[in-house]
Amino acid sequence: MAAAPFMFFLLATVSVVAAIGMLVARSPVYSALWLVLNLFCVAGLYLTMNATFIGVIQILVYAGAIMVLFLFVIMLLNLDALPQLEEIDWGMVAGFVLGVVVLSQLLYVIASGFDLPMEAMGASAETGSAESLGIALYTRYALHVEVAAVLLLAATVGAVMLAQKRFE
């Protein structure tokens, strides 16, 4: 079991670095690639928590489909990289770091007020399987699934309406 915390900290560190990289990168293609790395790390985190189905779906949907379309559009439009920053405003950087420190202290105080379990919930292989997820989605949360499906359908129809040619 010694491998699990190690994997968590490795994946968590890489995903945070990738998220910062995505924000800081000047070229849109690099930005998209950082985001892909971040999504892979999050998928890895799901896998360490025994949620294999969600982990694989994360790669399949976000990294495999959505980000490919992002990259496709970025390359098709041939977006130029933003100009390099002339000089870094160190005052802003210092302000940002202090802001993060104050925010994390405040959040810590607020969070310690709640009675949150410090240990992760013990998720077994069964709870993360496709079977248990499917049973939960189509019995207890059936209405939510239907509502989400209708919303997505409406979005698709709307996109087709906006994209279609108008024939007089």
Number of DSSP helices (H) and strands (E) in the chain, helices first: 7, 0
**Contact mark string toward another protein, 55..84, x via CB under 8 A:** -xx-xx--xxx--xx-xx--xx--------
Q: Residue 92, interface with another protein (CB under 8 A)?
A: no
Give the integer Cα–Cα distance in Å for 85 and 92: 14
Considering CB under 8 A, how many residues would be counted as binding another protein? 21
Least distance (Å) from another protein to the CB of residue 77? 11
Residue 116 burial by CB count (10 A; 0-12/13-18/19+): exposed, middle or buried?
A: exposed
Q: Tell me the torsion sign for CA atoms 34, 35, 36, 40.
A: positive
Pick out residues in 111-130 that bind another protein (CB under 8 A). Answer: 125, 129-130
Task: Point out which residues bind another protein (CB under 8 A).
Answer: 29, 33, 36, 52-53, 56-57, 59-60, 63-65, 68-69, 71-72, 75-76, 125, 129-130
